[in-house]
Amino acid sequence: MKVLFVGLGSIGKRHLDDLIDILSERGEELIADRVSHSDTPLPDKLAAVIRNTYHSFSEVMEKYDCTFICNPTSLHGEAIKALIGCSDNMYIEKPMFESLDPEYEAIPWGNGIYHVACPLRFHPVIRRMYALSKENRIVSFRALCSSYLPGWRPGSDYKRSYSARKDLGGGVRLDLIHEIDYIHWMFGSPDEALCRYGTYGGLGIETEDTADYILKWPGMTGTVHLDYLGDPTRRSLEFITDNGELIFGDIVAGTVMYSDTIEILKPSEDIRRTEMRYFVRLLAGEDSPMNDQRDGWDSLKISLE
């Protein structure tokens, strides 16, 4: 497989590392090029598969089996528009874009595979909650993601991180779009959506640190709360069924509770690696698309409109 990486920061390195191991397990060769404005040395394992480093999109003349868009969100649009003809397939790190710019909606997508990252869909708690959402009639839900931004990357200045900077596309509405993504996966686009957000904590960042959504479908309503302020971390999804039953999924604890049942559902590996396994199968025609560019755009509309 010949791939092109745009951005090899922390998330890009993780994706390339996973791809190396997964293709090796499958007995497949990997050739990788990258577009980077930096010549920062890579770990030996990653450097060994990098053939060319381009410093601008105009230098890229080859065709690739897949392009990985892993640069900051605010730069996704430029990269995708520049490279859409270099590959029939793309893996786009979440969220797709930093805004609902009509130029992004008008991108001339081809007939290839365009996967928008959605790692929480591969967490066993969310997968079980998805199954239970189909087995029961849900009338109300509450989704929660609350964690303390300064604790995300100990030893680094959180105020300089993507999350804290408007120019890079940070803020909870984009950074924590996972919750909106899996709710859209389970229930589709809502008929009505209301969001209130702002910067209320004492972190000293320029992006919003809190957002609350109220979403409504025929026969069902739900809320999504996102923040950078909570310590300890809480991440959960709660359903109320039409007969008043509570179904509670705790992503941090790895449990789903309902009736008199407690299920222990912990990932067997990092969920991003599980997602990369899925993506490799998808490229090989061994699996079906679950979050293409249309789904990614719909989730972005819920987050930002």
pLDDT tens track for 81-127? 999 999 999 999 999 999 999 999 999 999 999 999 999 999 999 99
Long-range Cβ contacts of 188-195 (<8 Å, 24+ apart): 188/217, 189/298, 189/301, 189/302, 190/215, 190/216, 190/217, 190/302, 191/216, 191/217, 191/218, 192/216, 193/302, 193/305, 195/303, 195/305
Mean pLDDT of the chain: 96
* pLDDT tens per residue across span 232-264: 999 999 999 999 999 999 999 999 999 989 999
Same domain, 81 and 104: yes
The answer as to whether 163 is a domain residue is yes
The answer as to whether 201 is a domain residue is yes
Same domain, 103 and 142: no
Name residues whose C-beta falls within 8 Å of residue 190's C-beta, 6 or more positions apart in sequence.
215, 216, 217, 302
**Looking at residue 203, which CATH number applies to its domain?**
3.30.360.10
Contact call for residues 291 and 178 (beta carbons, < 8 A):
no
Contact call for residues 45 and 24 (beta carbons, < 8 A):
no
Domain extent at residue 154: 124-266
Same domain, 156 and 247: yes
Same domain, 87 and 173: no
The stretch 36-57 carries a mean pLDDT of 91
pLDDT value, residue 37: 82
Q: Residue 129: pLDDT above 90?
A: yes
Question: 272: pLDDT confidence band, cut at 50, 70 and 90?
Answer: very high
Same domain, 259 and 146: yes
The stretch 212-221 carries a mean pLDDT of 98
Question: 40: pLDDT confidence band, cut at 50, 70 and 90?
Answer: confident
pLDDT value, residue 41: 87
The answer as to whether 47 is a domain residue is yes
In angstroms, the CA 257 to CA 261 distance is: 6
Same domain, 137 and 97: no
The answer as to whether 281 is a domain residue is no
Same domain, 107 and 151: no
Q: Residue 39: pLDDT above 80?
A: no
- State the total domains in the chain: 2
Does an H or E element contain 26, and which? none
Same domain, 26 and 49: yes
The answer as to whether 232 is a domain residue is yes
In angstroms, the CA 249 to CA 262 distance is: 10
pLDDT value, residue 178: 97
Residue 230 sits at φ, ψ, to 5 deg, of -80, 135
Name residues whose C-beta falls within 8 Å of residue 136's C-beta, 6 or more positions apart in sequence.
239, 241, 242, 245, 247
Q: Residue 38: pLDDT above 90?
A: no
Domain boundary among 115, 136, 153: 115
Residue 6 sits at φ, ψ, to 5 deg, of -105, 105
**Helix (H/G/I), strand (E/B), else coil: 163:** helix
Same domain, 89 and 200: no
Q: Tell me how long the chain is.
A: 305
| DSSP assignment letter at 98 | S
Same domain, 188 and 247: yes
The answer as to whether 38 is a domain residue is yes
pLDDT value, residue 43: 95
pLDDT value, residue 287: 97
**Looking at residue 40, which CATH number applies to its domain?**
3.40.50.720
Name residues whose C-beta falls within 8 Å of residue 69's C-beta, 6 or more positions apart in sequence.
6, 7, 76, 79, 80, 90, 91, 92, 93
| DSSP assignment letter at 182 | H
Domain boundary among 84, 115, 146: 115
Same domain, 128 and 260: yes
pTM as predicted:
0.94
pLDDT value, residue 278: 98
Q: How far apart are the first and last CA of the chain?
A: 38
The answer as to whether 278 is a domain residue is no
The answer as to whether 167 is a domain residue is yes
The stretch 188-202 carries a mean pLDDT of 97
Domain boundary among 115, 150, 178: 115
Same domain, 75 and 184: no
* pLDDT tens per residue across span 132-151: 999 999 999 999 999 999 99
Cβ neighbour number for residue 258 with a 10 Å cutoff: 18
